[in-house]
Amino acid sequence: MRLRFLRAQALLDMVTLIVSMLVASIISFDTIFPWQFEPQIWSLLMIMLAGLAGAEWVGSRLLVGGPTRPGYGRALAVTLMVVGVTALALVATRVYFSRSFIGWTVACFVVGAITHRAWLRRRPWTEAMVLITGEQSLVDDLRNAPHADVISVVDPATEARLDPLEPGVVLGVDLKAALSRRMAQYVSSCALAGLDVRPISQVYEMYTGRMPIVALVEGWELSTPVIRTAPYLPGKRLFDILVVLLTAPITLVLAGVTAAVTRLSSPGPVIYRQIRVGRGGGHFTQYKFRSMWHDPDRKGASFTSPDDDRVVPAARTIRRYRLDELPQLWNVLKGDLSLVGPRPEQVEFVKRFDRTIPFYSQRHLVRPGCTGWAQVNHGYADGEAGTVEKLTYDLFYVKHMSPWLDLEILGRSFWTLLSGFGAR
């Protein structure tokens, strides 16, 4: 079902691009057969189609937690990737091209891609499933997931006779549960029949973008995937450094304005330093622009509340748009932080949560980040219950860390910055 959804969208984009080329040809060359007059335009057509194919492949890898409804932002991202690939190929090959033809093709493609996505959004994609589990919390989360259609939930210990699965229905099995003999035979029969049988933890991760903590047993289920991502880490580090350096002209200006506001709004140092827990449980000094009255934690570490009286009034806008976190880019250059990863926590909180929350320390398997999967999905946590929920997102990132997931998080973080989502 998921593959059909992705293939249908890619096919519609391909048709849209071809139609856009025909329209652009009429406008630019007064014919739908421009190769009759410009034979070299075939190379340009192949380059743009190849760019679209690459964009669709990258876009499919960026789909995390099951495909969302076709997004207009993704249409623009595909367009930009097609333009980028085309521009690079033209510079490298110096084949013939027409600015008018490319411009009209891109303009028509944007209109067409947004139009067919608007049509697809009227028919949201869902996948039917039967769950064999006794974990009601997992069932409730899957019922609330936008693309999961939970038909029924079966007790793992039942001895009742079950009907065969309908075609296209997923069977999610709780591998931690003790299955009755009849249930074990049923699951085995479904697998032998070639039906779609998956661990419920896998189904949960795909449709919620979270790691079911109740499905973890030893913890190495997370450390093993982290080992497999080791080849990506040098590239991730290089990407962090390049992004910080390339955006420095903008961030330095914003930092200067924020520093001035901080200095003028209240007495105290401009930069606030705090010890946080980093990769492997090590400690490092995190830098921020001070947005609270001086020495806010003199009575001990505490969560920030929505109307926290420790926050300087003039700094509430700074906190809303995360401008107070600009000095953390220095932490990125130093290697304390990555641009993307679980947010680093205060030492006192980590000591407490290590005792009370199972597998909390597993979030320290990777380098912490300025933004993360939990930040763009959950926002701020102001207690242990919220911390547990955020942990399910952090552990999902730890297990699935990849260039595609990092790009997804960075893209969504721009909206988080503009909207102020999760700020305190």
The answer for residues whose C-beta is within 8 angstroms of residue 356's C-beta and 6 or more apart is: 384
Which pLDDT score, from 0 to 100, does residue 313 have? Answer: 66
The predicted model gives 244-255 an average pLDDT of: 94
Assess whether pLDDT exceeds 70 at residue 267: yes
Q: Which of 67-71, 88-92, 185-189, 277-281 has the lowest mean pLDDT?
A: 67-71
Q: DSSP E strands: which ranges in 174-237? A: 197-199
Secondary structure of residue 199 in the 3-state scheme: strand
Per residue in 76-114, pLDDT (tens digit) is 778 888 888 888 888 887 776 778 888 899 999 999 998
Instruction: Give the whole-angstrom CA distance, residue 380 versus residue 308.
Output: 14
> What are the CB-based long-range contacts (under 8 Å, 24+) for 50-59?
50/85, 50/89, 51/81, 51/82, 51/83, 51/84, 51/85, 51/86, 51/89, 52/13, 52/14, 52/17, 52/78, 52/82, 54/81, 54/85, 55/81, 55/82, 55/85, 56/9, 56/10, 56/13, 58/404
What's the pLDDT tens digit per position in 363-411? 999 999 999 999 888 877 667 888 999 999 999 999 999 888 898 888 8
Provide the pLDDT confidence category of residue 117 given band limits of 50, 70 and 90.
confident
* Mean pLDDT computed over every residue of the chain: 84
Higher per-residue confidence, 354 vs 32 = 354
Domains, the chain, in order of start with CATH, read 2-120 (no CATH), 127-208 (3.40.50), 230-419 (no CATH)
Q: What is the pLDDT, as a whole number, of residue 96?
A: 65
Cα gap 336→350, rounded to integer Å: 17
Please report the pLDDT score of residue 300 as a whole number. Answer: 53
Chain segment 272-326, per-residue pLDDT in tens: 899 999 999 999 999 998 877 655 555 555 555 455 556 676 667 787 788 889 9
Res 58: pLDDT: 77
Average pLDDT over residues 55-67: 67
